[in-house]
Structure 1
Amino acid sequence: MHPGMSLPVVLAQAEPVPFDRPLEVFAAEVEALLTEHPGTRLVMYPELHLCRAEQPADAAEPLDGPRTRQLAQIAGDLGVWLAPGSLCERGPAGELFNTAVAFSPGGELVASYRKVFPWRPYEPYDPGDRFVVFDLPEGRVGFAICYDAWFPEITRHLAWMGAELVLNPVQTTTRDRAQELVLARANAIVNQVFVASLNVAGPFGMGCSLVVGPEGQVLAETPGAEPAVLALELDLTEVARVREHGTAGLNRMWDQFTESDAPIELPLYQGRIEPGRWRPGGGDPR
């Protein structure tokens, strides 16, 4: 990673599209975004953007299937980091996962994250079992899909694993989007990370997408549910600055503990906070 490099990102607040629509159409849409916003490094779409179907299982494919290979080729052909929204993944034992994916400008699948907290009882997906981060030259990125944002454990672990930017693809069609906007800012504040919460557009979804900085400041937002694009540059080194000097120049939560402090028991998790392991960069929690 190269400190000081800005990350130009484009977030497309769009309606989900039918699973059987040719991916060539999607490729043309991404290319049009890149033409409109030259220099873009990362393009992001909402949760399940390419997976509209009568039943989620109708859109399910394994991650080594032809659809994933086509998406990888699109990223490679356009030379961009591509987060095309989550996919309906058919697992090796027949499971159904809601899986966020990221592809590199080299045309490779570099990350896949299965939603740990499907919105029960409404979603049919099986839960994932691990947290996922991946590296861009500009910094480290993690995934949290939609309802994951309601569980502070997700963003906390991503930040602990070194994520500076959390991509939160969303498909919220219900009246609780207002609360999710609060959660996006709260998760950014308490973990001192960037959060990009990208919802689907109306009339299918509620829209109201936003990008939040590591002190909780709203950097960009859409005014409502209409299809829209957010284009901005993120300096992920801002995370290190905020952690060094504190949120509002005061609060340095990741430096709360010293190694001489006694561990704090966490009965809910049958575990504990170990002061020596508290700071970001602690590794893979599996």
Structure 2
Amino acid sequence: MSYFTIAGVQLHALHHGDNTDAMRHRINLLMARFPNVQMVLFSELVANGAATHHAEPMPSNMEAMFCQLAEEHRIWLIPGSMFERDGDKIYNTLSVINPQGQVAARYRKMFPFRPFEEGVEGGSEFVVFDVPHVGRFGVSICYDMWFPETTRTLAAMGAEVILHPTMTDTIDRDIELSIARTNAAINQCYFFDINGAGAMGNGRSIVVGPAGDVIHQAGIGEEIIPLEIDLNRVRREREVGLRGLGQPLKSFRDRSVDFGVYRSENSPTPFLDTLGPLVKPHRPDNGHHDI
């Protein structure tokens, strides 16, 4: 089977507080109206808000509630991400829940939005998972996609679909739309970039095909995005090229160049060390002082 139906949910949610009742209600309505949906994907940090003091060890009661919902509706469920407490560290963690209500995988966001996402550690392990008889899926979170190495690694691990919850409420959303299209095209995969609405994001979730084509772009309000995708399209375009043209994954595999910028020692790019510390921008001192 190469056809698979995924519903992205762009939810209007509270920035600080428990949004799980709204998520449960939305899933129940979604599955009643679109019973063909096989996977549901929410946006980043939508379940419990964007405050790190809500962080809990995993497995948690909140995660268990989502497991029950997945089993009840027999769906794959990615309920966005939640802050996870592990000892004295906090991670931005996504749970992949299968239709049996089991946590199939957890992924920790690799690139917290520093310097603004303070007090959050970056993860170090890539996550892909298989939907039996369908294909391989990869996950990333928000700022991760600004680093092409993340999506490229998932594609190199065999991911045919990238599931990417985000929480973007800033003026760079239009740039992210371009990045989503680029990541899909250069890795020849589907890319589901699902944002929040209201206080949890400025919307404009986007679903992109393996040729970089926009399958759907949401508005700024609440929206449910159920879409059937065809994994054979990914396989065909990886075989013969994007629109019968470029085959970037094969070219990357067969490259002769060694990217020295990725060496952790003896890097030939000392320029990066001249960029200064990773801190928030501050107001310049214009020479005027209060009396």
Decide which of 107, 112, 116 is 1:118's aligned counterpart. Answer: 112
Q: Distance in 1 between matches of 2:18 and 2:112?
A: 25
- CA shift digits 1:130-150 (9 cap, x unpaired): 110111122111111001110
**Equivalences for residues 83-102 of structure 1 within 5 A:** 83-91=78-86, 93-102=87-96
Q: Equivalent residue of 2:198, what SS?
A: coil
- CA shift digits 1:74-99 (9 cap, x unpaired): 111121100110111111x2211011
Q: Distance in 1 between matches of 2:201 and 2:212?
A: 24
Q: Distance in 1 between matches of 2:19 and 2:55?
A: 15
User: What residue in structure 2 maps to residue 277 of structure 1?
Assistant: none
Look at both structures and tell me which one has the larger radius of gyration over its CA atoms: 2
- Quote the RMSD (CA, aligned, Å): 1.9
Q: Name the amino acid aligned to 2:230.
A: D
User: What residue in structure 1 maps to residue 289 of structure 2?
Assistant: none
Distance of aligned partners of 1:248 and 1:5 in 2 relative to their CA distance in 1, 3 Å threshold: closer
Question: Does structure 1 residue 186 correspond to structure 2 residue 182?
Answer: yes
Decide which of 19, 40, 43 is 1:43's aligned counterpart. Answer: 40
User: What residue in structure 2 maps to residue 215 of structure 1?
Assistant: 211
**Equivalences for residues 126-145 of structure 1 within 5 A:** 126-137=121-132, 138-145=134-141
Question: Does structure 1 residue 29 correspond to structure 2 residue 26?
Answer: yes
User: What residue in structure 1 maps to residue 152 of structure 2?
Assistant: 156
- CA shift digits 1:185-220 (9 cap, x unpaired): 000011101000111112542101110000001111
- CA shift digits 1:215-250 (9 cap, x unpaired): 00111111x211111111011121110011101211
Aligned-residue offset at 1:255: 2.2
Question: Does structure 1 residue 233 correspond to structure 2 residue 228?
Answer: yes
Q: Equivalent residue of 1:256, what SS?
A: helix
Question: Does structure 1 residue 174 correspond to structure 2 residue 170?
Answer: yes
Q: Distance in 2 between matches of 1:258 and 1:127?
A: 27
Question: Does structure 1 residue 254 correspond to structure 2 residue 254?
Answer: no
Distance of aligned partners of 1:18 and 1:207 in 2 relative to their CA distance in 1, 3 Å threshold: closer
User: What residue in structure 2 maps to residue 279 of structure 1?
Assistant: none
Q: Distance in 1 between matches of 2:217 and 2:102?
A: 30
22-31 or 163-172: which moved more?
Answer: 22-31
User: What residue in structure 1 maps to residue 102 of structure 2?
Assistant: 108
Q: How many residues align?
A: 262
Aligned-residue offset at 1:28: 3.0
Aligned-residue offset at 1:36: 1.2
User: What residue in structure 2 maps to residue 274 of structure 1?
Assistant: none
Distance of aligned partners of 1:106 and 1:258 in 2 relative to their CA distance in 1, 3 Å threshold: closer
Q: Distance in 2 between matches of 1:90 and 1:75?
A: 23
**TM-score where L is the length of structure 1:** 0.86
**TM-score where L is the length of structure 2:** 0.85
Q: Name the amino acid aligned to 2:104.
A: V
* Structure 1: gaps of 5 or more residues: 272-286
Q: Equivalent residue of 2:117, what SS?
A: coil
User: What residue in structure 2 maps to residue 268 of structure 1?
Assistant: 261
149-158 or 202-211: which moved more?
Answer: 202-211
Distance of aligned partners of 1:208 and 1:140 in 2 relative to their CA distance in 1, 3 Å threshold: same
Question: Does structure 1 residue 6 correspond to structure 2 residue 36?
Answer: no
